Structure 1
Amino acid sequence: MALMITDECINCDVCEPECPNSAISPGEEIYEIDPNLCTECVGHYDEPQCVLVCPVDCIPKDPDHEETQEELQEKYNIITSA
């Protein structure tokens, strides 16, 4: 399952550089996560780095983009092979 950033985001800029897949970018009002690039850090780390550094805890799992660990690993494999 990809992650998402809620409207509680304070645009502190700490999550974007932590993403190993460059899935986080500035949106019109708050940062956004591209679900096609988000692997929840599978393949890179044991837990999502953006969630670890977020000071307001506004990065939950995105219920519109549910994926298994295997699907996240496959997405990681595709992203890193490009």
Structure 2
Amino acid sequence: MALKINDECIWCGACEPECPNNAIYEQGVEWSLSDGTSLKGQVVLKNNEPLDTSQRNAPLSNDIFYIVPDKCTECQGFHESPRCADVCPVDACVPDEMYQETMDELLGKKEFLHAE
């Protein structure tokens, strides 16, 4: 499943540079699918919603760092475990129960985000 950052976050920023998918953003910062990925143009997300990959989207949190679920692969295909959780000093990077995904789905998402 995708990870999320809970309200234990102390805003240290250790997680953000560790994400190979650029799925972690500072509070209040707009995000896009193309940030840190090879995606270009129009794509269809898992929920069947079309999205322009360069479109800037509203922040998912204005209070703490946040993780974009459509970009989080739990670091599958990159690292042995989620790097954000590994480096978080307060264990604020936790599984997001709203986004249940299998290992195959996470690896498929990684391929989708980083297709050459």
Bucket of the pairwise TM-score, normalised by the shorter protein:
over 0.9
Q: Which runs of 5+ in 2 are unaligned?
A: 28-61
| Aligned equivalent of 1:75 | 109
Show the 5 A alignment for 1:1-80. 1-27=1-27, 28-80=62-114
> How many residues end up aligned between the 2 structures?
82
- The structure carrying a bigger strand percent of its residues is 2
**RMSD of aligned alpha carbons:** 0.8
TM-score (norm 2): 0.69
Letter in 1 for 2:13: D
Deviation of 1:29 after TM superposition, in Å, equals 1.1
Runs of 4+ in 1 over 4 A off after TM superposition: none
Give CA deviations for 1:19-65 in whole Å, capped at 9, x if unaligned. 00000001211000000000000010110000110000011100000
Task: Please tell me whether Structure 1 or Structure 2 has the larger radius of gyration of its CA atoms.
Answer: 2
- The structure carrying a bigger helix percent of its residues is 1
Alignment partner of 1:40: what SS?
coil
Alignment partner of 2:78: what SS?
coil
